[in-house]
Amino acid sequence: MANIKFYCIKKTNPSNMNIRFYHGRNIDCNAQSHILIDPNLWSRKMQNFKPLTNVEVKNTYLPLIENLKKEIQSKFNLAFSNGELINSKWLSKIISDFNKRPDDKEDHRFFFVPFIEKFAKDSETRVNPNTGKIISFRTIQKYRTITSQLEDFEQKQKIRLKITDINLEFHNLYTSYLKTDKKYSNTSIEKNISTIRGFIKEAKEYGFDTSHEVENKKFTFRRDEPIDTYLNLNEIDLIYNLDLSDNESLDNVRDLFIFGVWTGLRISDLQRINQFLFKKNTIIISETEKTGATIEIPIHQQVKEILAKRNGQFPKIISSQKFNDYIKDVCQLAGITEMTLGNIKNSKTNRKEKGYYPKYKLISSHSARRSFAT
DSSP line for 297-355: EEPPHHHHHHHHHTTTPPPPP--HHHHHHHHHHHHHHTT---EEEEEEEETTTTEEEEE
**CA dist., res. 332 & res. 339, Å (int):** 12
Please state which of the ranges 266-280, 282-296, 303-317, 330-344 shows the lowest mean pLDDT.
Answer: 282-296
pLDDT of residue 261 exceeding 90? yes
The alpha helices in 206-311, defined as continuous H runs, are: 233-241, 248-263, 267-270, 301-309
Give the global pTM: 0.66
**CA dist., res. 252 & res. 40, Å (int):** 86
Check residue 4 and give its pLDDT.
95
pLDDT of residue 6 exceeding 70? yes
**CA dist., res. 96 & res. 92, Å (int):** 6
- Judge whether 324 and 317 are in contact, CB under 8 Å: no
pLDDT of residue 276 exceeding 80? no
**CA dist., res. 7 & res. 119, Å (int):** 40
Annotate 309-324 with b (16+ C-beta within 10 A) or e (fewer): eeeeebbeebeeeebb
- Judge whether 117 and 168 are in contact, CB under 8 Å: no
How far, CA to CA in Å, does 1 sit from each of 7, 26, 80, 354?
20, 13, 12, 73
**Residue 350 backbone zone (phi > 0: left; psi -120 to 50: alpha; other: beta):** left
How far, CA to CA in Å, does 130 sit from each of 90, 126, 142, 293, 306?
39, 12, 19, 11, 36
Which residue has better confidence, 18 or 353? 18
pLDDT of residue 297 exceeding 90? no
Q: 116-161 pLDDT, tens per residue?
A: 999 999 998 888 777 677 888 888 999 999 999 999 999 999 999 9
Q: Provide the mean pLDDT of the chain.
A: 90
Q: Roughly what angle, to the nearest 10 degrees, separates helices 137-157 and 186-205?
A: 100
Which residue has better confidence, 333 or 101? 333
Check residue 289 and give its pLDDT.
59
Q: 204-223 pLDDT, tens per residue?
A: 999 899 999 999 999 999 98
Total residues found in the chain within this entry? 374
**CA dist., res. 156 & res. 146, Å (int):** 15
**CA dist., res. 212 & res. 207, Å (int):** 14
**Strand ordering across the sheet containing 27-37:** 3-7, 15-23, 27-37
Check residue 327 and give its pLDDT.
95
